C-alpha cells in the first residue's frame, strides 16, 4: 500500500543521499528523543558539520498528527532560517534509508542545560546577554511566522565565543489558524504553557511562556514550578502561582524579575503580548549593566537613565513603555538604598550569589579539559538529565 501511495504520489522525487558514503562520522554528539546527531566531515564540502538524522517512525508519527495540514518538514523550515542566534542549516534531504537528515554548522561549545546546572563564571557574566540573544532569536522566528514550541535549555547551545544558538526545529509549526487549533500537546513538560497543557487554542505566546521558564531557570537554576513529570505536577502551572524570582534572588534587577514573571502569567492575555515587548526591559537592564562595566561602579539597578547608552550586542529601543520602567525604577531605588551597605565594587553579575565551591571546581576542570588536546567531541556537555526536562512524546492521545 505504501508502495502504491508512493508510486502515485505527486510529490517531486527527492534524490536519496547515501550518508555513509558522503560523510565521515567523527563522533556522536547527541541523542535527542527524535534523532541522532553526529559530528561529521562532509566529503562534498570538506567541512566539519553536524549531521542530524531523524528517527523514521517517530517522525512519521509526529507528521501524522498534522495530516492534511501540509506541515513543513523540519529540514524545510531549518534551511530558511537566517539569524546570528539560530544554528545555520546548510542542507536537508532524505537518506537512502528514507530518513530525513539535516546538515548544519557544527556548534563547538556547551548546551545551555549544562550552563544552567553549572552556574559558572560564564553564566554569571553572560546570563542576561544570553537571555537577550535567545529573545532575539525568538523575535526573528516569530517575525517569520513560526512557533518554535520547544524552547528549553536542552535546545539551546552556547558556542566557545559565548554566542547563543537556538537549535531543534522538530516541533515548529507555522503561525497560521489551522496549527493554532486546540489539540496537540507537544513540547517539554516543564516549559509548556498552560493553554497548551489544557489543550486550548495556542499562539506565539506559548513560546513567550517557555522563554520565561528558561530565563527563570538560567538565573536561579530552578524551575518556577516543581518538576513536571506527571499530569498532576504539570497542572500546577494552571492552579498555583509560581514563586516570584525576586524572592529567590533579592539582588536581581527588579526590571528583569518583573519581565520574567509577566512572561509566566497563566492567561495568555496577561502575558507579554510579543517577545519584542518582553525584550525591552531586559535590554534596558542590560544597557545599565554595560554602563556599569564601562565605568566600573557598583550595580545601580535604576532603569530611568539609559537613553544614551549603546551596546554592541543590542540596539536601543525608543518605544519603551513608561509604566514598566517607572514601576521598576521605584522598586530599584528602594533596593539600592537597602544595598548600599554591601557594595561589591567589581561585581556586575545580575545577581551576586556566588556559585557553590564544588560547582566552581567542576567547571574549572571542564574548562581545562576543553582547552587540552582536541577532545573527540567537545560540544554539548549535558548535565545528568533532570526530571524536569522530560520531553513529552509526540503522541496525540497521550496523557502525561
Ligand atoms: N548544530 C549542532 N552542533 C553541535 N551539536 C548539535 C547540533 N545540533 C544538535 N546538536 C546536539 O544534538 C542534540 C540533539 O539535537 P536536537 O535537539 O536537534 O535533536 P532532537 O532529537 O530533536 O531532540 P529532542 O530530544 O529535543 O527532541 C542536541 O542537544 C545537541 O547536543
Ligand atoms: Mg532537542
From the CB of 32, is ligand 1 less than 6 Å away? yes
Residue in this structure with the C-alpha cell 517557555, named with its chain if needed:
210
Most informative mutation of 32, 34, 101, 137 for ligand 1 (most atoms within 8 A of CB): 32
Residue 183 pLDDT: 82
Residues 113 and 154: beta-carbon distance below 8 Å: yes
* Cβ of residue 107 lying under 6 Å from some atom of ligand 1: yes
pLDDT band, residue 261 (cuts 50/70/90): very high
**Would you state the pLDDT for residue 15?**
85
Of the chain, the percentage scoring pLDDT greater than 90 comes to 58
**42, 122, 150, 374: which one is catalytic?**
150
Fold for the domain defined by 109-293: Transferase(Phosphotransferase); domain 1 (1.10.510)
Query: Do 283 and 324 touch, CB atoms closer than 8 A?
Result: no
SS3 42: strand
17 C-alpha to center of ligand 1: Å? 21
Give the burial class of 356: count Cβ atoms within 10 A of its Cβ; 0-12 exposed, 13-18 middle, 19 or more buried: exposed
Can you count the helices (H) and strands (E) in the chain? 15, 13
Pairing mode, strands 100-105 and 146-147: unpaired
144-182 tens-digit pLDDT: 999 999 999 999 999 999 999 999 999 999 999 999 998
Q: How far apart are CA 213 and CA 264, in angstroms?
A: 7
pLDDT in tens, 111-154: 999 999 999 999 999 999 999 999 999 999 999 999 999 999 99
Distance of CA 135 to the CA centre of its chain: 8
Distance 90 CA to ligand 2 centre (A): 18
Q: Name the residue of 167, 376, 388 to mutate for ligand 1: max ligand atoms within 8 A of Cβ.
A: 167
Backbone angle region of 260, left / alpha / beta, with phi > 0 → left and psi within -120 to 50 → alpha: alpha
Q: Whose CA is nearest to atom 24 of ligand 1?
A: 32
CATH number corresponding to 11-105: 3.30.200.20
Reported as a single tens digit per residue, the pLDDT across 375-399 is: 222 223 333 334 333 343 333 323 2
Q: Is 16 helix (H, G, I), strand (E, B) or coil?
A: strand
Q: Indicate the domain borders of the chain.
A: 11-105, 109-293
With a pLDDT cut of 70, the percent of the chain lying above it is 68
pLDDT tens for each residue of 8-33: 555 556 789 999 999 999 999 977 78
* Ligand 1 pocket: which of 27, 29, 102 to mutate (most atoms within 8 A of CB): 29
Buried b (16+ CB within 10 A) or exposed e, 56-79: eebbeebeeeeeeeebbbbbebbb
- Does the CB atom of residue 379 touch ligand 1 within 6 A? yes
Is residue 232 annotated as part of the catalytic site, yes or no?
A: no
Q: Given this model, what pLDDT does residue 379 score?
A: 26
DSSP state for residue 292 in the 8-state scheme: H
pLDDT at 79: 98
Q: What is the mean pLDDT of residues 213-242?
A: 81
- Ligand 2 centroid–CA 59 distance in Å is 13
Determine whether the shortest distance from the Cβ of 116 to ligand 1 is under 6 A.
Answer: no
84, 197 contact by CB (below 8 A) = no
Amino acid at each position: 500500500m505504501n508502495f502504491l501511495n508512493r508510486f502515485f504520489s505527486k510529490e517531486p522525487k527527492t534524490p536519496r543521499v547515501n550518508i555513509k558514503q558522503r560523510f565521515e562520522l567523527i563522533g556522536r554528539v547527541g541523542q535527542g528523543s527524535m534523532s541522532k546527531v553526529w559530528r561529521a566531515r562532509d566529503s562534498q564540502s570538506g567541512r566539519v558539520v553536524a549531521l542530524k538524522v531523524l528517527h523514521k517512525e517517530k517522525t512519521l508519527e509526529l507528521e501524522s498528527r498534522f495530516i492534511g495540514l501540509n506541515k513543513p518538514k523540519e529540514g524545510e523550515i531549518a534551511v530558511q532560517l537566517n539569524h546570528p542566534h539560530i544554528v545555520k542549516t546548510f542542507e536537508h534531504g532524505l537518506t537512502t534509508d528514507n530518513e530525513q537528515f539535516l546538515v548544519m554548522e557544527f556548534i563547538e561549545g556547551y548546551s545551555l542545560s549544562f550552563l544552567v546546572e553549572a552556574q559558572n563564571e560564564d553564566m554569571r557574566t553572560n546570563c542576561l546577554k544570553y537571555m537577550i540573544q535567545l529573545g532575539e532569536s525568538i523575535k526573528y522566528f516569530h517575525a517569520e511566522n513560526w512557533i518554535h514550541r520547544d524552547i528549553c535549555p536542552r535546545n539551546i547551545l552556547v558556542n566557545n565565543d559565548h554566542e547563543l544558538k537556538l537549535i531543534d526545529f522538530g516541533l515548529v509549526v507555522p503561525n497560521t489558524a489551522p496549527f493554532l487549533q486546540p489539540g496537540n500537546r507537544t513540547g517539554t513538560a516543564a516549559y509548556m504553557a498552560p493553554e497548551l497543557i489544557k489543550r486550548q487554542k495556542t499562539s506565539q505566546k506559548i513560546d513567550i511562556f517557555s522563554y520565561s521558564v528558561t530565563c527563570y531557570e538560567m538565573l536561579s537554576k530552578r524551575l518556577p514550578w516543581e518538576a513536571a513529570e506527571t499530569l498532576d505536577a504539570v497542572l500546577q502551572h494552571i492552579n498555583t502561582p509560581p514563586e516570584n524570582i525576586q524572592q529567590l534572588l533579592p539582588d536581581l534587577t527588579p526590571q528583569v524579575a518583573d519581565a520574567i514573571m509577566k512572561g509566566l502569567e497563566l492567561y495568555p492575555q496577561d502575558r507579554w503580548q510579543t517577545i519584542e515587548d518582553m525584550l525591552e526591559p531586559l535590554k534596558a537592564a542590560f544597557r545599565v549593566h554595560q554602563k556599569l562595566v564601562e565605568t566600573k561602579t557598583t550595580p545601580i539597578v535604576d532603569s530611568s537613565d539609559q537613553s544614551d547608552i549603546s551596546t554592541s550586542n543590542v540596539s536601543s529601543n525608543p518605544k519603551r513603555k513608561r509604566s514598566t520602567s517607572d514601576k521598576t525604577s521605584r522598586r530599584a531605588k528602594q533596593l539600592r538604598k537597602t544595598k548600599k551597605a554591601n557594595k561589591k565594587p567589581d561585581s556586575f553579575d545580575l545577581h551576586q550569589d556566588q556559585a557553590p565551591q564544588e560547582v566552581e571546581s567542576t567547571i574549572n576542570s571542564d574548562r581545562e579539559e576543553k582547552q587540552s588536546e582536541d577532545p573527540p567531541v567537545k560540544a554539548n556537555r549535558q548535565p545528568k538529565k533532570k526530571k524536569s526536562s522530560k520531553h513529552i512524546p509526540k503522541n496525540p492521545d497521550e496523557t502525561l
